[in-house]
Structure 1
Amino acid sequence: MKPERARSLQWLLVRRLILLQAGMLLFFIVLLIVVLSVVKPRLMIDNEAAVTAVTGAVDRDKDGKLIVHDTDELTQFRAEHPKVWYIIHDTTGQTARVGMAPPDYDRDLGSLLSSVDHASIGFAGKRDGKEMRPEAFVQKVDTKAGPVQVVTSTFHSRSDSEGFDISITAIVDMARKPDGTADWPRVLPGLLASLGIVLLPIILAMGVTTLVTTPAVVRRSLTGLIGTANQAAHIDFDTRAMQLPVKNVPQEVVPLVNAFNQALSRLAQGIDSHNRFLTDAAHELRTPIAILRTRAELLTDEPETLRLRQDIERLSHLAQQLLDHQSLDRPNEHRRVVDLAEFAGRVAADLAPLAIEAGYDFAFEPPDGKVEVEVNALQIEQLLANIVRNAIEHGGGKGTITVLVDRAGGLEVHDEGPGIPVEEHKNVFEPFYRVHPHSHGAGLGLNLARQIAQLHGGSIAILNGPWQGARVRVHLPLHRQTA
């Protein structure tokens, strides 16, 4: 069964942000349409506002002549737009003027403009090498003097403007029924298509922007979390007491990191409690073992007594190995630089009587010169002793056991026994694993040796070759000055 693929946080955020932005845009557009349909505001530019300002000021005198009063609204507007001008025509042909109108507008505008409700007048072409006529607005309005047509502009000339003007014109017309109401079945498809043309580029722009920026933002936001995850990847049995930092972790992930740290603390406490129990148990075993050894020494030398002494010795060795194993869990201190050749020769001399008593010849092969390594001497002594004891136990009781040191920091133990099958070379380093289940060993010697080698930054392996017997090689890093 194919494992389920984890979801990407950054692409999940990208998709949801795009959908959210598109939804919010559509919501605001619909809301704007609803508000406009209810409020029905009138948006005016300056020229249209000028018409509104003058509408309330148009009147007739007692003789029926068109006049323009100086109302407060008109006075305020003219104060804001001092160049504004008006030309007002009524249906009888009378005209009233306010301000200085350009000559081209102060004339008959023709029957077409006289009949329209509203229009903008603009000139794009040049006249006499330049075009200075401003844009004007024409609109029919109802006043106190009756219906009139107002022609107006807030500028007398284009030179009066501030140099940069923006004019936005939006004209919306729709099909209508004979009674004047909108013909929605015909209008709606075109309206939706127009909205799509307007909204699609905006949504695409927002989507592309989100697609480009969100991954970078997410990666930047998760930098602290990635660093914490890298630290978590380096936690192992020897560093289980380490706590992950939460300083740069996103706030939403802090509870998870805290829970992980609490789990590490509980795990470390449980392992420490377990190790203390094993250490105390091994210590407690040493006393009854010593009593048994003393009592066995008082027995007569008979075959059963010899086997009993061997079993007691095996039990004593197992208790010592358990204590040695538990001591490795403590901080690695008391390291010093030693000459591996001299040190291994001294330990080999202490172990030689055990090998000779078991029926082996014993040899030590030192290198030429010193081989300096920085080690915990007690632990390296335990390592070599366990490998030699393993050779004595499984070497067949004959041949030569050789301890060898080379200039590369190698420490080897050779025997001439039946050897270790190739397929078992890795298994023999596991705790309590024995190639022959009925052998006398406990299966902890090589495992303890591997842990000591790894604590010193070294390695241990079973060598392959045409020789008879087993060859175990330990490699220790040379001291920097020696290297």
Structure 2
Amino acid sequence: MTSPPSNPSLWWRLSWQLGLVIIAVIGGVIVGLSVYATMVLSPNVAAEREITAAVAAAIARDDQGRLVLRETPQLKALKERNRQLWTVAATTDGASVSFGAIPAPFAGLAPLVHLFESADIRGAAGTDEIASVENVDTDLGEVRVLFGGFADKGWPVLAILAESYPIYGSLIAIALPAIFLTVPRIVRRALAKVSDVARKASQIAPRVHGARLPVSGIPKEVAPLVTAFNGTLGRLEAEFETRERFLIDAAHELRTPIAIMQTRVDGMSDGPERTRLLSDVARLASMAEQLLDFEHSDQTIDVGQSVDIVAVAREVVADLAPFAIAAGYEISFESEAERVARKGDPTALRRAVSNLVRNAIDHGGQRGMITVSASAGAAIEVADQGPGIAVEHRALVFEPFYRVKPKSEGAGLGLSLVKKIVERHGGQVIIRSNATGMRIAIQL
């Protein structure tokens, strides 16, 4: 069995995509500036490092103190690759040495090389040659190098990137942590309202009229979804109200024909047929009342009143004792205290306890004792000596219209109504069942 695919994280997707975009922009700016620099700086910029390094390694003084360029392997390889290469190397005191054929337009600069620290020389009349002057540190001290005639000028953009790495390297070192720390936080804050709306959506309870999700502060791209969801809530609420009105009206309307049937059956002569009809009419009346109670339970419960739990249980036992005795049971009432006061709705609680006792009468096996007890901890328990409820049915008996035995009497609303009433009071219903009977407790 394959597990369902997990939903992608919008926060994570936006964070890394925005991070990549910002990194790409920074990279584009660095490359763009480097390209622009190649149009401003000398075309020899890519060759500067190689030739100045070769001259710096080759320059020296002979025994008479004159400047010479030794034929080092590096300088020799440079000359072999660039047959037209020429250069003039000069110290800051005016001493100089050269090799190669210096073009006539630049020949007059040879004695003045020591005056330039850096220069880009081009556009001279009579030549397309481009010459450069660069400063280099050697064993002899500072040396200024004038050169030209380079056949392979290399890649100026790469040379500029190599030269300027301290600048953009520092920029990236600062920008990357900032991007990966700030972008996720910015995205999280932007989606905070969406998370709030999702949390509020999960808290919307059934039968709570007018519940809507807030639209203010929601990103305009998400707002249509929230608006559509609110519209769906409105339509569901309208349909629910229609269903609720129909069930209430139907339950009310059933009372009249049931009362008529009751009257007609009462007028019949005694006999088995009259007894069966009276039982059927009583069942119909009970189902109609349960249906009406079920639909009214969310509208009429007021849990702010003071209720004596002991008195509620005692009254229910007194009211239903004749029915229990007529069905073949004994019934008793026990209490740990004379009075246990709680906040709640006395009518709704009486209805809940009454449904528990009626459930015991209907499913207790028409024998044994039905015991109703009230504890000092605001719990009311109804116990019978019937067959109990199997484990697989215990969680389902609180669902509306669920019946353990499909052909059993009743509408399957009694325990569901009990659970609704108790939950509205902030309590819980506890079932304990075995082969010797069942206990259902209301804990407020």
**TM-score with structure 1 length normalisation?**
0.67
Matched, 1:279 2:275: no
Q: Is the 8 A contact 1:10 1:214 kept in 2?
A: no
Aligned to 1:444: 413
Query: Structure 1 residues 299 and 21, CA, compared in 2 at 3 Å: closer, same or farther?
Result: same
**Deviations 1:269-318 (CA, angstroms, capped at 9, x unpaired):** 11111111111111111111111111111111121221111111101110
What's the offset of the Cα at 1:242?
1.4
1:252 aligns with 2:221: yes
Quick one: distance in 2 between partners of 1:358 and 1:174? 121
Cα separation, 2, equivalents of 1:37 and 1:272: 76
Number of paired residues? 362
Mapped to 1, the partners of 2:328 and 2:167 lie a distance apart of 98
Query: Residues of 1 paired with 2:414 and 2:372: CA distance?
Result: 17
Q: 1:175 to 1:430 in 2, by over 3 A?
A: farther
2:175 maps to which residue? 206
Residue in 2 that maps onto 1:356: 325
Secondary structure, in 3 states, of the residue corresponding to 1:370? coil
Instruction: Give runs of aligned pairs for residues 165-184 of structure 1, distance below 5 A.
Output: 176-177=150-151, 182-184=152-154
- Larger deviation: 328-337 or 440-449? 328-337
Report deviation, 1:474. Answer: 0.8
**CA distance in structure 1 between the partners assigned to 2:210 and 2:354 by the alignment:** 31
Q: How does 1:78-477 map to 2 (within 5 A)?
A: 110=94, 112=96, 115-117=111-113, 119-120=115-116, 176-177=150-151, 182-184=152-154, 199=168, 202-239=171-208, 241-330=210-299, 332-333=301-302, 335-464=304-433, 468-476=436-444
SS of alignment partner, residue 352 of structure 1: helix
Q: Distance in 1 between matches of 2:249 and 2:399?
A: 23
SS at match of 1:14: helix
The whole-number CA distance in structure 2 between the counterparts of 1:201 and 1:139 is: 28
The answer on whether the counterparts of 1:375 and 1:456 sit within 8 Å (CA) in structure 2 is: yes
What letter is aligned with 1:387? L
Q: After the TM superposition, which of the residue ranges 367-376 and 313-322 deviates more from structure 2?
A: 367-376
C-alpha distance in structure 2 between counterparts of 1:9 and 1:140, whole Å: 56
- Measured at CA, do residues 348 and 193 of structure 1 come closer, stay the same or move farther in structure 2, by a change above 3 Å? same
Structure 2 counterpart SS, 1:239 = coil
Q: Does the C-alpha gap of structure 1 residues 188 and 367 become closer, same or farther in structure 2, counting only changes over 3 Å?
A: closer
Partner-residue secondary structure (3-state), 2:381: strand
Gaps of 5+ in 2: 43-91, 97-108, 124-144
Give the CA deviation at 1:446. 1.1
Whole-angstrom distance in 1 between the partners of 2:313 and 2:148:
103
Q: Give the distance between the partners of 2:242 and 2:178, measured in 1 at CA.
A: 56
Partners of 2:11 and 2:272 in 1: CA distance: 76
Tell me, yes or no, if the aligned pair for 1:425 and 1:462 is still in contact at 8 Å. Answer: yes
The whole-number CA distance in structure 2 between the counterparts of 1:138 and 1:207 is: 36
Per the alignment, residue 23 of structure 1 pairs with 24
Question: Which residue identity is paired with 2:295?
Answer: Q
CA apart distance, 1:247: 3.1
- Cα distance between partner residues in 1 of 2:417 and 2:225: 36
Work out the CA distance in 1 between the residues paired with 2:377 and 2:356.
Answer: 19
TM-superposed CA distance for 1:356, in Å, is 1.5
CA 272–201 in structure 1, closer or farther in 2 if over 3 Å, else same: same
1:198 positional shift: 6.1
Instruction: Give the letter aligned to residue 443 of structure 1.
Output: G
Report the AA paired with residue 198 of structure 2: A
- Residues 117, 139 of structure 1: 8 Å contact kept: no
Superposition deviation, residue 172 in structure 1: 13
Return closer, same or farther for 1:275/1:24 CA change in 2, 3 Å cut-off: same
Shift of 1:323: 0.2
Contact (CA 8 Å) 1:395, 1:418: kept in 2 or not?
yes
Secondary structure, aligned partner of 2:29: helix
- Which amino acid in 1 is paired with 2:411? A
Give SS of 1:368's match: coil
CA shift for structure 1 position 118 = 7.4
Per the alignment, in what secondary structure is the counterpart of residue 423 of structure 1? helix
User: Structure 2 vs 1, CA of residues 189 and 375 (structure 1 numbering), >3 Å: closer, same or farther?
Assistant: closer
Mark the CA change 1:216 to 1:30 in structure 2 (over 3 Å): closer, same or farther.
closer
**Is contact 1:14-1:210 (8 Å) kept?**
no
Report the Cα distance in structure 1 between the residues aligned to 2:345 and 2:183, rounded to whole angstroms: 53
Higher deviation after alignment, 354-363 or 248-257: 248-257
Per-residue deviation, 1:41: 8.3
Please give the per-residue CA displacement for 1:5-49, whole angstroms capped at 9, x wherever unaligned: 3323333233223322233234334544555666x489xxxxxxx
Structure 1 residue 431: deviation in Å?
2.0
| Alpha-carbon distance in 2 for matches of 1:219, 1:139 | 52
Q: Aligned to 1:429, what secondary structure does the other structure show?
A: coil
C-alpha root-mean-square deviation of aligned residues, in Å?
3.4
Aligned residues of 1:119 and 1:138 also touching (Cα < 8 A): no
Higher relative contact order (CA 8 A, sep 6+): 2
Which residue identity does 1:15 align to in structure 2? W
What CA distance in whole angstroms lies between the structure 1 residues aligned with 2:273 and 2:146? 116
CA contact (8 A) 1:116 1:140 kept: no
Cα deviation, residue 228, structure 1 = 2.6
Query: For the Cα contact (< 8 Å) 1:335–1:377, is it kept in 2?
Result: no
Q: Is the 8 A contact 2:303 2:425 kept in 1?
A: no
Task: Give the letter for the 2:262 counterpart.
Answer: R
Higher helix share: 2
SS of residue matched to 1:471: strand
Report the secondary structure of 2:249's partner residue: helix
Residues 117 and 140, structure 1, Cα contact 8 Å, conserved in 2: no
Give 3-state SS (helix, strand or coil) of 1:243's partner. Answer: coil
| Cα distance in structure 2, aligned partners of 1:119 and 1:403 | 115
Q: Structure 1 pair 198/393, CA: closer, same or farther in 2 (3 Å)?
A: same
Partner of 1:132: none
CA separation of 1:175 and 1:201: change in aligned 2, threshold 3 A: farther
